Amino acid sequence: MFSFADIEFNERQEKLVVLMLFLGKLIVLGLILRLIIQYGPDTLMIQEFYAIMIGIILTLVFELEIEGINIIIGDSIYAIVQDCLGWKSMYLLTSLYVATPNKYSENFKLLLSGLVILQLSNIVRVVSTVVLTEMGVISFEVIHSFLWQWGLSFIVFGLWYYWYIKILGE
């Protein structure tokens, strides 16, 4: 039976093997993500909770109503859909953590800290999207599709980079 342990690699080849394993894990985790998206669980209760939480924060600025997953401000209705929960960013950070060779049990608290930072960032994302849209500063599509989609991705990769470079010393 073939095993990488039986082969002697130079430093460059070792790095390529580590990279292949990293990418292989990410591919498998990406396939799992596709299955979750396709057959995922019902998150309606979480979305309703999130709408209430975001609504409470927004009451500091606006008069509003909450109906299920909808936050209603005047004539505008903001639906807290599954993607508003930030779960894909959390899944991506967790996937990067799992795919990166490390001492998982020793570094688990760093993953949890990163997930908390992501969830707080996501709350800021949703609240700021509604506030800036309602104030007419910038359109919903620009805020949502460009600024925050890329912004949350930047936060995910920033957290992973910090963890990888600073903590693991790689």
Q: Which of 82, 103, 134 is the last residue of a domain?
A: 82
Query: Does residue 103 sit in the same domain as residue 146?
Result: yes
What pLDDT does residue 4 have? 59
Quickly list DSSP for 15-58.
HHHHHHHHHHHHHHHHHHHHHHHHHPPP-HHHHHHHHHHHHHHH
Looking at the structure, do residues 132 and 68 belong to the same domain, yes or no?
Answer: no
Structural domain containing residue 135: 86-170
Give the residue among 36, 45, 39 at the shortest CA–CA distance from 85: 45
| 101-119 confidence digits (pLDDT tens) | 777 677 788 889 999 999 9
Q: Distance (Å, rounded) from C-alpha 28 to C-alpha 47?
A: 28
Assess whether 60 and 111 both reside in one domain.
no
Predicted pLDDT at 170: 57
Q: Tell me, yes or no, whether 9 lies in a domain.
A: no
Asked whether residue 58 falls in the same domain as residue 121, the answer is: no
Cα-Cα-Cα-Cα dihedral sign, residues 63, 118, 81, 137 = positive
pLDDT at 2: 58
Nearest partner of 21 among 92, 74, 83, 99, judged by Cα: 99
Q: Which two tokens stand for residue 12?
A: 């460059």
Do 132 and 76 belong together in one domain?
no
pLDDT digits (tens, 9 = 90+) for 116-151: 999 999 999 999 999 999 998 888 888 887 777 788
pTM: 0.81
Domain shared by 90 and 157, yes or no: yes
Please say whether the beta carbons of 134 and 72 come within 8 A. Answer: no
Q: How many domains does the chain have?
A: 2
Co-location of 112 and 159 in the same domain: yes
Residues 57 and 111 in one domain: no
What's residue 158's pLDDT?
93
Q: Kindly give the parts of the chain with pLDDT less than 70.
A: 1-6, 104, 167-168, 170
* CA 52 to each of CA 8, 13, 63, 152: distance values in angstroms, whole numbers, following the listed order: 58, 53, 13, 22
Say yes or no: 77 and 117 in one domain.
no
Does residue 146 belong to any structural domain of this protein? Answer: yes
